Chain A
Amino acid sequence: DTAVSQTPKYLVTQMGNDKSIKCEQNLGHDTMYWYKQDSKKFLKIMFSYNNKELIINETVPNRFSPKSPDKAHLNLHINSLELGDSAVYFCASSNRAYEQYFGPGTRLTVT
């Protein structure tokens, strides 16, 4: 059984396009996160939702918009993609800031 799943696993797109990444967790956790991991493996938090409410919104361009339709889902929509958006995006979930469960990642390549 997959705990945290993300789709798609790979995403190759051109500059200027709009794309979405979906995340689902079946762990019953209250909190979900989006992280961006760059080419040097530095992991940076982008957003966090608790029970569908946005609680962390880091300094992220407003081209990035998270949406949480329910507690088990947190999607990430990116408008007007730029080259610098190329990275691996991870979804995670937890109960509070205890151990986090990560999805397999979505490798986004913007050409």
Chain B
Amino acid sequence: SQQGEEDPQALSIQEGENATMNCSYKTSINNLQWYRQNSGRGLVHLILIRSNEREKHSGRLRVTLDTSKKSSSLLITASRAADTASYFCATDSSYGNNRLAFGKGNQVVVIP
């Protein structure tokens, strides 16, 4: 079954603004990951947050995880035109089936 439903689906912002995306999931997880996909390319891993972590930073990325609400958010600060991409969350279920369930993806367009 597909977990991870990002919201909103599409976001258009000006360069320098912050972009926030949300992701919800349905089952218990070991970790939650965010990936970026540039047009015509494969997915690139951005950040992983474990189920016992609440917040994690990596450069201009900030991820939060609320396991009680089964949700996560990805914040990109001071966006750049190069951040234009689709962003996916993916969950690693606690059921140990050794797979990631990917969400539908958010399209982010950063206008220079």
Which residues of A approach B to under 8 Å, CB–CB? 4, 31, 33, 35, 40-45, 48, 50, 55-56, 90, 92, 96-105
Which residue of A has the minimal Cβ distance to B107?
Answer: A41
Interface positions of B (Cβ within 8 A of A) = 2, 30-31, 33, 35, 37, 40-45, 48, 86, 88, 90, 92, 97-102, 104-105
Q: Which residues of B contact A33 (CB under 8 A)?
A: 99
A41 adjacent to B105 (CB under 8 Å): yes
- Contacts across chains A and B counted by CB atoms under 8 Å: 61
Q: Pick the residue among A41, A98, A100 that contacts B104 (CB under 8 A).
A: A41
Given contacts A48-B98, A99-B48, 15 further A-B pairs with CB under 8 A are: A31-B98, A41-B37, A41-B104, A42-B105, A45-B102, A56-B99, A90-B42, A90-B43, A96-B98, A97-B92, A100-B45, A102-B43, A103-B42, A104-B42, A105-B42
